[in-house]
Amino acid sequence: MSIPPFSTRLLAWFDDHGRKDLPWQHDITPYHVWLSEIMLQQTQVTTVIDYYTRFISRYADVAALAAADLDDVLALWTGLGYYARARNLHKAAGIIMAEHQGQMPATLESLIALPGIGRSTAGAIMALGYHQNYPILDGNVKRVLTRYAAISGWPGQKNIEQQLWQFSEQLLPKNRIAHYIQAQMDLGATICTRSKPLCSQCPLISDCKGFESGNPTVFPTSKPKKIIPLRQIHWLIIQSQSGLIHLEQRPNEGIWGGLWSFPEFESLDAAVAFYQQNFGTVPDNLIQQKPIRHIFTHYKLDIFPYLVHSSVCSQSITDYEGLDWHTRNNALRLGLPAPVKAFLKLLE
């Protein structure tokens, strides 16, 4: 008895077990697919749901997103991480309005030309938004395919990735492309999971080479480990007599690009020098706060916050127009790095 094709079994499984009620699966448009795919990069579905719902209620289409202030977009993104995603969304929306008459591009090449859209995201937009036969290769799909075919080697290697793209194209069905792509993602997220795959419930078990090997979790091959460096910085949290807090907007490029944060320094001496330069005196009441460790993808960051109750009062605040002052409540509405937001919530 012959085994039904890969796609046939996957679609039959999807009909019974696939996810069909996620927020971005209602009123599907290329814009909704784009937004959800960007949010889901490196982020769990359960985390994304609330962010997506808030975002789409504020920016219902490309035109609304393009017309928004980047600060407002980043504020909605606060806590979701990888803020370059939000900056690229905003920038791409502007390009779509200027160069594509406000319509999401409908070819793979024109989508990939937009900031922040790679081949897999473009494929998802084409398949889910336009029902065109294109594969995707996100983390879940890579795991399913490498296990199914027992493909060794880290998928981040160019030759392995190219092999997976070719394989994924070979497996594409002629019909129901949107359901098929969603089924691949769902199988990886719910059955073919990273550490404890539910092989007995998998529709592909009959010819899965990873299962046949007896140890499917060796696929995909893990990324070679690197020593994660540790950085240290010092924050200066300056609070005026009237409770205003000094924040600085970070450059658009780099970590936390475009977000608002406390002044950051490589040393405490540099922080004191900044205060003296701007206020004409050394701070006489530096209050050291509990250190914070924040983990990024490429390094760990130890933050040493110092609180200063400045002599600046509300009447003299205009003497410091070069500095940006915010009430605590207004500050919490800005685009903030997660540790800054957490600190502000604790600050009296």
CATH, residue 307: 3.90.79.10
Residues tagged active-site: 37
CATH, residue 144: 1.10.340.30
Beta-sheet pairing, 230-239 with 300-309: parallel
Residue 280 has a pLDDT of: 85
pTM, rounded to two decimals = 0.84
Among the listed residues 216, 50, 59, the one whose alpha carbon sits nearest the alpha carbon of residue 149 = 216
Is 1 inside a domain boundary? no
Write phi, then psi, for 295 (nearest 5 degrees). -105, 120
- Which of 184, 218, 252 is at the close of a domain? 218
Express each pLDDT in 28-49 by its tens digit.
999 999 999 999 999 999 999 9
- Which of 218, 239, 260 is at the close of a domain? 218
Number of domains in the chain: 2
Is 99 inside a domain boundary? yes
Write phi, then psi, for 32 (nearest 5 degrees). -65, -40
The residue whose two tokens read 């749901």 is: 49
- Which of 175, 196, 218 is at the close of a domain? 218
Among the listed residues 46, 55, 53, the one whose alpha carbon sits nearest the alpha carbon of residue 85 = 55
Express each pLDDT in 307-348 by its tens digit.
999 887 766 776 666 689 999 999 999 999 999 999 999 886
Is 224 inside a domain boundary? no
Is 342 inside a domain boundary? yes
Is 188 inside a domain boundary? yes
Which residue segment(s) compose the domain that 68 sits in?
A: 6-218
Residue 175 has a pLDDT of: 95
